Structure 1
């Protein structure tokens, strides 16, 4: 791993931690998780932006495959690696410790670290990063809205549906294609395992999200019918 990449990871961990401390002070009336989600939203936005800027040819975003990573791709992956290290530590002190989230972090850390070590597969890894972070701002937005008092409102439902739609297209349409190309190319076994692991985890989350949306829509429909019925009785 290059020296400047190591510096980016080290400075990144420190920077994300400082950002969290600032958010904790500014939004002190909200929870630990609220501040962490704000930092996560900032990372997702930066990650998608850097990933987009590092694409070498938009006619073939994953090209060249199984090739030497460009400096821009290396830096993009280093920034996300620093965030993942920060976040997995931060979650240990908060309320977001879950088996599936921990597996996601560990698989991503190992996969990105392997990519940085081999200095290969930059196109595939940046593509996977783009896909996985595309829906993250909306994932955090729905939770932030709940804590701000907008639970079970139209705006919270809109955030839920927007998150589910973007997640579905990114992870269940584009994601499998990226996984297939990663497995088909001459990539290191560690990176192939990461790609397959993330896709299986995405499928698991997809079914959970589908059930959540079904429940939310059913609940909202039932509530509306109940209000109409009550109005007729009056």
Structure 2
């Protein structure tokens, strides 16, 4: 028990020092920038550790959940718990998150704490950590691209696609199958089942928010593209080439690119 407390203190201090270094090295940047750097570092570390637990060390989560925690699972949960604890305090201090995000943090803190306290649920919790954190680098990269004026670039759109694809395929589809296998397994008790269902419901809330944003964004892009096409097909030169305003041909690719830029720039101003 003392070893666990010592590891937790060391890990919490490490996150605090990392955040402090980011602030000291780049004091002109906002606090939100620094906390997102810490978030990316946590995501990369925790995804690597949880993937090793799942795919190399075992046990296999789809067939053998509910067993005692391995030492690597124990370490992974400690790192994740202390990060969420640090991030939760940061959110309370700067008042950046709403009630639902704070609830998500508290649910994560509770799940990690109970896993350490009881010495079990490590297999299924590490799988949950992997599924929830694997999309995080793409989410943070999206924010950094927008903040640095690259939100309208093609690679920003590609990053958005990968984020939505991973979220839907890993957290919703694969996570749903994992929950189905978990609830049908005789080993997990009621506490593990409640935790699994709760985390999956949180993922669905996020997924519905993402779908709502995607429908709004791409519907607006479609309307902008349609309007530009109508305005651009008014005249033709003597060779029969369609011209737009300035007399130069305009391809459909140019129109779509302009629409994407208008939508993203408008979204960045309103958020």
Pair in the same fold by TM > 0.5:
yes
Q: Structure 2 CA distance, aligned partners of 1:29 and 1:159?
A: 27
> What pairs with 1:12-23 in structure 2 (closer than 5 Å)?
12-23=11-22
More helix per residue: 1 or 2?
Answer: 1
Q: CA deviation at 1:66?
A: 1.1
Of stretches 168-177 and 182-191 in structure 1, the one that deviates more from structure 2 is: 182-191
Give 1:158 deviation, angstroms.
2.1
**Displacement of 1:37 after TM fit?**
0.9
Corresponding position of 1:203: 204
The runs of 5 or more residues in structure 1 that have no matched partner are none
- Cα displacement (A) at 1:63: 4.6
**Which structure 2 residue ranges, 5 or more long, are not aligned?**
233-242, 247-271
Decide whether the 8 Å contact of 1:9 with 1:78 is kept in 2. yes
How far residue 167 of structure 1 moved from its aligned partner, in angstroms, is: 0.7
Question: Within 2, Cα distance between the matches of 1:165 and 1:33?
Answer: 26
Distance (Å, rounded) in 2 between the aligned partners of 1:34 and 1:49:
23
Cα distance in structure 2, aligned partners of 1:178 and 1:8: 30
**Alpha-carbon RMSD:** 2.2
Partner of 1:121: 121
Matched residue pairs, number?
233
C-alpha contact (below 8 Å) 1:115/1:191 kept by paired residues: no
After superposition, the C-alpha distances for 1:195-231 in whole angstroms (9 at most, x for unaligned) are 1111111111111101212223233444455666467
Structure 1 residues 47, 154: CA separation in 2 closer, same or farther (over 3 Å shift)? same
TM-score, structure 2 normalization: 0.78
Q: Which has the larger radius of gyration?
A: 2
Partner of 1:108: 108
The equivalent residue for 2:256 is: none
Residues 172 and 203 of structure 1 are in contact (CA less than 8 Å); yes or no, is this contact kept in structure 2?
yes
